[in-house]
Amino acid sequence: MNNPISNLYRPIAPWSGRLILPQPSQRKPDGGVFIQIQNAPSSHRFLVGKQAWVKWHSTSHHTLWLSRATLDLKFDSTTYNSIEKTQAIHPKRLDGWQKVSPLESLAGARPDDDVQVELNVISATQEGNSWVLSIGDEPYQIAGVTKGLVTFVGPAGDRRYRVRHYNPASKAFNGPEEIVSCPDAGAIRSGQTVEQSSLVNIEKSPLNAGGWYIYGHSDSQGTFVVAALEPLEAMQLVATQMTTGRQETQDYYVASKWQNLPQRRIEKTLVDNNSKVLAASERTAALRERRTRELWYLNDVALTIHTFGWRGGPRGNNPPLGLAPGHFSFGFAKVIRDEFTGHLRFDLVHRQVYAHNKEGIISGAIRWHAYVGSLKRGWMYTVPISEVMLRMPEFTVPYKLGDRTFDPLKTIEQELAFTCARYRTGPGNGASVVTPATSCVKDSCQSLFAAINRLDAEVLNDPVIRRWMQDNSQSFDAQRFQRLDTLLKDVLDRMLIPLGYVPKGWRGDREYLAAHRQGGLLGNTIEALRSWKTMLPRRAEMELAQVMARHGATFWDIKGAMLGGEVPGIVPIPPGTLL
């Protein structure tokens, strides 16, 4: 690329590409899949455009669950009913396969080989005439090959728009202009009444002045084809408001957060849970900036709680009684330095426990732009969304206890990755369906429950660690761990199993994950009510935030609705809760 416009785009990731499901005769015992490489580091740039084999590296922290998530797959009546009644996309190409691996269930999740991913490559080796990429983490789903930072100037006809690029030298949007194509914008899927995305009058959006990351690829004519958007303001560490003190934090998550939803803009709240209560006049922009610097640092990692509501109004799908269950997932956000602006921002990857659906969203690790901002299947354009970044060193900073180390977030990540993989195959029938006892929020919380039990079994019950803790009880990490132990017990008692009853599906090897359970609606509902605080997304967000706040966590809270272009005739509805 040697023209001024092309030089303003950057690769989405060092390693990325399009997954290709192998033919049955090409399958290998390692459960790998092919990838057409679209980005590679300079040392392996010669591989771009070529095909390689992707498999797990032997040192990956996910190897402990891979065999449990490898299942024979055979469609049954539940699957066929889902396809017929809801038009949900199920992994048809895998029907009848034996020992379907987590990588195969990702590559084969949709009818075509169109799953683009970013890879955490530990080694790239040549075996004969073929190249093998061995990965440490599960592939992150992305949209596109390269990304730019632009503002929208105006429409240019036929779903094309004139944009102006960010100029790093001036730190303003006075760079070159070009026309980009957005073919997926504004399309209404069969059976839907509302477009999934919109760029109508996006140049008039309050977010346009701050700019948008555009993700996509250049076509054969050199036109950039946009697959996804992300508002620059969404992940920047610049708070628009703040809460102070324990009581106000509790009130925020219990009552005020979802009131007065910001439409076509984003509110970012610095939840300064441990500070003294301040008058509104004291919460200046300068104070917000200073407290942000004091609480969030480069390379910090946070556990993220993602929720969204729904859309009502004349063209919307008004939920019964006005109650929108919404959606819930966990994720992980790292504070990085933005490669365009140099400012600190969050780099967010959802771990979406997601049932099979007609949008073609695949359960797994998904970057924010590909899940929320996709023009084809993103949610930010029509529904209210929220991200809560949770910061608590006892929970989010790794431990070293003698010669043993462990990372609570890595344990949670492993359990979520296992759950996501099982959701892609269902219980062996290729169908993950939502019931009162099986859902995004219930099974995300089940993953958290499993992670807490593992920490208890692998750390607290380790005799070497117990002896070290006794001999070094006054050390920094020992005291920090004691606080973590108290926190996790509180999460269990106050949120996950408030009645002291462990749901049947949460016991044993979690064989009921993503399963359409027998027992009927009444039986499933009674079972779900026994862990009632994990039944609805808003309740789960509320309860987890409250428990963490009691133990001193601070938060960064993002929310907004109808981000992007205009969609007339809809009204954003926040996620609701009955109890």
Q: At a CB cut-off of 8 Å and minimum separation 6, what does 192 contact? A: none
Domain co-membership, 100 together with 207: no
**Total-model pTM:** 0.95
Structural domains counted in the chain: 3
Domain co-membership, 79 together with 108: yes
Flag whether 307 is in a domain: no
pLDDT in tens, the chain (579 residues): 456 677 899 999 999 999 999 999 999 999 999 999 999 999 999 999 999 999 999 999 999 999 999 999 999 999 999 999 989 999 999 999 999 999 999 999 999 999 999 999 999 999 999 999 999 999 999 999 999 999 999 999 999 999 999 999 999 999 999 999 999 999 888 778 899 999 999 999 999 999 999 999 999 999 999 999 999 999 999 999 999 999 999 999 999 999 989 999 999 999 999 999 999 999 999 999 999 999 999 999 999 999 999 999 999 988 877 788 899 999 999 999 999 999 999 999 999 999 999 999 999 999 999 999 999 999 999 999 999 999 998 888 899 888 888 899 999 999 999 999 999 999 999 999 877 666 889 899 989 999 998 888 888 788 898 899 899 999 998 999 999 999 999 999 988 888 777 776 676 665 556 655 544 555 556 666 667 788 889 999 999 999 999 999 999 999 999 999 999 999 999 998 866
Domain co-membership, 107 together with 206: no
Domain co-membership, 58 together with 185: no
First to last CA, the chain: 57
Domain co-membership, 400 together with 544: yes
Flag whether 96 is in a domain: yes
**Exposed/middle/buried for 215, CB within 10 Å: 0-12, 13-18, 19+?**
buried
Domain co-membership, 410 together with 488: yes
Flag whether 349 is in a domain: no
Flag whether 376 is in a domain: no
Q: Which domain holds residue 542?
A: 395-552
Domain co-membership, 84 together with 189: no
List, as own/partner pairs, every contact residues 44-47 make where C-beta atoms lie below 8 angstroms and the sequence separation is at least 24, other chains included. 44/124, 47/124, 47/131
Domain co-membership, 15 together with 100: yes
Flag whether 304 is in a domain: no
Domain co-membership, 50 together with 165: no
Query: Using CA atoms, how far apart are residues 344 and 335, in angstroms rounded to an integer?
Result: 7
Domain co-membership, 100 together with 172: no
- 301 beta partners: 334
Domain co-membership, 412 together with 538: yes
**Exposed/middle/buried for 95, CB within 10 Å: 0-12, 13-18, 19+?**
middle
SS3 421: helix
Flag whether 242 is in a domain: no
Flag whether 207 is in a domain: yes
- 350 beta partners: 331, 366
Report the helix count and the strand count for the chain, using DSSP H and E: 14, 25
Query: Using CA atoms, how far apart are residues 452 and 512, in angstroms rounded to an integer?
Result: 19
Query: Using CA atoms, how far apart are residues 309 and 573, in angstroms rounded to an integer?
Result: 6
Domain boundary among 118, 137, 156: 137
Domain boundary among 213, 233, 253: 233
Flag whether 352 is in a domain: no
Domain co-membership, 80 together with 168: no
DSSP conformation class of 44:
G
- Domain of 221, CATH number, reads 2.40.50
Helix (H) or strand (E) holding 289: helix 285-295
Domain boundary among 75, 110, 137: 137
